[in-house]
A and B are shown apart, each in its own frame.
Chain A
């Protein structure tokens, strides 16, 4: 018996192994975009946009409250309720949608198919996050459009009614009428309200990033949702509550430590509530909006890396 390998035949071409062929890039934006697009489709199929109907109902109902208030006050109320509801929908949607995605992929076994392909786990996580953010952005724009429509129609109605009443009374000069109408218009539809929508988006984006981190080690979607909501509430309240606790406990050392730990580990969501000031009619400071955008990006990067740290070696 000879140990020599059999002589190769020139007639049958040798098949080269796959690895020696075309190299798979370490990171591909195309793959991220594909996963993001499939996430959007997945969320749309979950009929998530139906909540817009509930939102429209809330805004229209508030727009038709008949309370004895000045037109400016009534417009201010409509704006506050509409933007407050928009904010709730955005962060709640960010939590629920993100918490459902990874467990659903595991349940449907889609995750195994995806990860058996040359798709990096970072691409998978980033794609999922981008998909959720895309749906949140579209939802916010749709909610803003509904809200803008209601505000604009009420504003036009109030302005014309006030103008007619003031002209009919014949007691006011043209300048006084102009002053009164500008008071109403100040509380009406303004371009700055778009920044308030952006603020809600920033908040929802951070919430989604935190939720995706939780879902990488959570045992169930329910756990992720509950913990994310609790973290959101704590993250919102810790600044307000810490001064109250410290005052009540007379600056007890243990309470001080607890407050510090909470501040370090849990994002300060209250910072992202700057839409409230804009809705109330305060002037927007562009530099601050940019800085908040930077902070949001920082949160997204850090929480994505943390998610990757846990997710990279996870076995399914």
Chain B
């Protein structure tokens, strides 16, 4: 038997032996997030030929990076739909890269909507329609991102910005900030922001007052101007009795100057 045939048979035997071991290793590498699972069917269908070849050839990260640069091109030309399409592939290729999700929510939820507010080439009704469409697309993208990375504080922060700045939905903003509290990379201001937006959410004023007062009682560290102002607003709204109100001055009201005695002239000259 030719030696080459023998070699192929030996290769096949080695293949049969290593197959289960490799399958087990692959599963464990995927579980440890060191290896990416195969991209979704949708990603294959949307990719260009070169991107597909690159992805199949093990250049997944490189393809994703170059698509990110391509997306920046779409950002420069304000081609929001193309940008979104690019990011759909990118997030399919690297679903566990938080920064891709954050970037696409920022682009669609903040930049595209801002563009719709200012693009005077479009009629007002069309701008309004697209504004809402982009805002809701950003929310949808955030939900997809959170399905991949349930503990992501960064995706939620970006989503909260869309609710806060674009949709002006204080209740939804409060809900998202509330979800951020306790997450591994939650910023410390998330606790305060949860209270601030809850205070502006109709029907939750009492809960917000209790929550903000708890924060206030934590000490000087939490006595920030916005916190004091929100508490002051709630004290007015809920008609909190004066003795129970916080002693701090409302940071938005001009400070009362101490009354100067009538016999003191400007410059501190005392008239006898």
Cβ-defined contact, B61 with A279, below 8 A: yes
Chain B, 4-35, CB within 8 A of any chain A CB: 4, 6-8, 10-12, 14-16, 18-19, 21-22, 25-26, 28-29, 32-35
A264-B12 in contact (CB<8A):
yes
Residues of A within 8 A of B6 (CB): 309
Q: Distance in Å from the Cβ of B225 to the closest Cβ of chain A?
A: 10
Query: Does B122 lie at the interface of the complex (its beta carbon under 8 Å from any beta carbon of A)?
Result: no
Is A306 part of the binding interface, using a Cβ–Cβ cutoff of 8 Å? yes
Contact with B along A283-308 (1 / 0, CB 8 A): 11100100110010010001001100
A292 to B21 alpha-carbon distance, docked (Å): 11
Q: B29 and A271: CB pair below 8 A?
A: yes
| Per-position binary interface string of chain A over residues 250-291, scored 1 when its CB falls under 8 Å from any chain B CB and 0 otherwise | 000000000000011100111101101111101111001001
Inside 8 A of B44's CB, which chain A residues have their CB?
244
Chain A residue numbers with a CB within 8 Å of B32 are 277, 282-283, 285, 288
A240 to B57, CA, bound (A): 10
Q: Does B182 contact A (CB under 8 A)?
A: no
Q: Give A288 to B30 CA distance when docked, in angstroms.
A: 11
Complex interface residues of chain A between 79 and 99 (CB less than 8 A to chain B): 80-81, 83-85, 87-88
The answer to the question of B56 belonging to the interface, with a C-beta cut-off of 8 Å to chain A, is yes
A27 located at the interface, meaning its Cβ lies under 8 Å from any Cβ of chain B in the complex: no
Residue ID in chain B nearest A78 by CB atoms: B65
Tell me, yes or no, whether A316 is within 8 Å of chain B by CB. no
Cβ-defined contact, B18 with A298, below 8 A = yes
Complex Cα distance A284/B34, Å? 8
Chain A window 126-169, contacts with chain B (Cβ cutoff 8 Å), 1 for yes, 0 for no:
00000000000000000000000000000000000000000000
Q: Across the interface, which residues of A come within 8 angstroms of B10, CB to CB?
A: 302, 305-306, 309
- Which among B7, B72, B97 is the interface contact of A68 at CB below 8 angstroms? B72
Q: Is the CB of B69 within 8 A of A277?
A: no
Among A241, A284, A302, A305, residue most surrounded by chain B Cβ atoms (within 10 Å): A302
Does B244 count as interface, using CB distance less than 8 angstroms? Answer: no
CA distance A270 to B28 in the complex (A): 14
Instruction: Report whether A291 and B25 are in contact in the complex, using a CB–CB cutoff of 8 Å.
Output: yes
Q: Would you call A67 and B61 a contact (CB within 8 A)?
A: no
A310 interface residue, CB < 8 Å from B? yes
Cβ-defined contact, A80 with B56, below 8 A: no
A282/B33 contact (C-beta < 8 A), A68-B72, A68-B75, A76-B97 known? yes
A44-76: CB near B (< 8 Å → 1, else 0) gives 000000000000000000000101111011001
B62 near A80: Cβ-Cβ < 8 Å: yes
The CA of A276 and the CA of B37, in the complex, are separated in Å by: 12
| A265/B35 in contact, CB under 8 A | no
Closest CB in chain B relative to A241 CB, distance in Å:
6
Given contacts A271-B29, A274-B35, contact A176 B187 (CB under 8 A): yes
Q: How far is the CA of A179 from the CA of B188 in the complex (A)?
A: 9
B150 within 8 A of A: no
Instruction: Tell me the smallest distance from the CB of B136 to a CB of chain A, in Å.
Output: 23
Q: Bound complex: CA of A292 vs CA of B7, how far in Å?
A: 24
Complex Cα–Cα for A302 and B188 (A)? 55
CB-CB under 8 A from A302, the residues of chain B are: 10-11, 14
Residues of chain B within 8 A (CB-CB) of A67 are: 69, 72
Stretch with Cβ within 8 A of B (4 or more), from A2-10, A104-112, A113-121, A231-239: A231-239
The reply to whether the CB of A43 lies closer than 8 angstroms to some CB of chain B is no
Q: Does A173 contact B (CB under 8 A)?
A: yes
- Contact A276 B36, beta carbon cutoff 8 Å: yes
Contact residues of B with A, CB < 8 Å? 3-4, 6-8, 10-12, 14-16, 18-19, 21-22, 25-26, 28-29, 32-36, 38-39, 41, 44, 53, 55-62, 64-65, 68-69, 72, 75, 94, 96-97, 99, 102-103, 185, 187-189, 221
- Between-chain CB contacts (< 8 Å), 7 pairs: A81-B62, A87-B58, A237-B57, A270-B58, A274-B35, A280-B94, A302-B11
With A179-B187, A277-B32, A282-B33 given, name 16 new contacts (CB 8 A).
A65-B69, A68-B75, A76-B99, A77-B65, A81-B65, A271-B22, A271-B25, A273-B58, A276-B34, A284-B34, A288-B25, A288-B28, A288-B29, A292-B25, A306-B7, A313-B3
